[in-house]
Amino acid sequence: DAKTTQPDSMESTEGETVHLPCSHATISGNEYIYWYRQVPLQGPEYVTHGLQQNTTNSMAFLAIASDRKSSTLILPHVSLRDAAVYHCILRVDGGNNKLTFGQGTVLSVIP
Distance CA 65, CA 11 (A): 23
Contact mark string toward other proteins, 5..44, x via CB under 8 A: -----------------------------x------xxxx
Report the residue from 5, 45, 54, 108 that binds other proteins according to the rule CB under 8 A.
Answer: 45
Write down the least CB distance from residue 15 to other proteins, Å: 28
CB neighbour class for 103 (10 Å; exposed up to 12, middle 13-18, buried from 19): exposed
Residues 6+ apart with CB under 8 A from 58: none
Q: Which of 65, 71, 66 is nearest to 90 (CA)?
A: 71
Report the residue from 15, 46, 76, 80 that binds other proteins according to the rule CB under 8 A.
Answer: 46
Task: Count CB atoms within 10 A of the CB of residue 79.
Answer: 11
Query: How many residues sit in the footprint of other proteins (CB under 8 A)?
Result: 19
81 sits near other proteins (criterion: CB under 8 A):
no
95 sits near other proteins (criterion: CB under 8 A):
yes
Query: Can you give the binding site for other proteins, defined by CB under 8 A?
Result: 34, 41-46, 49, 93-103
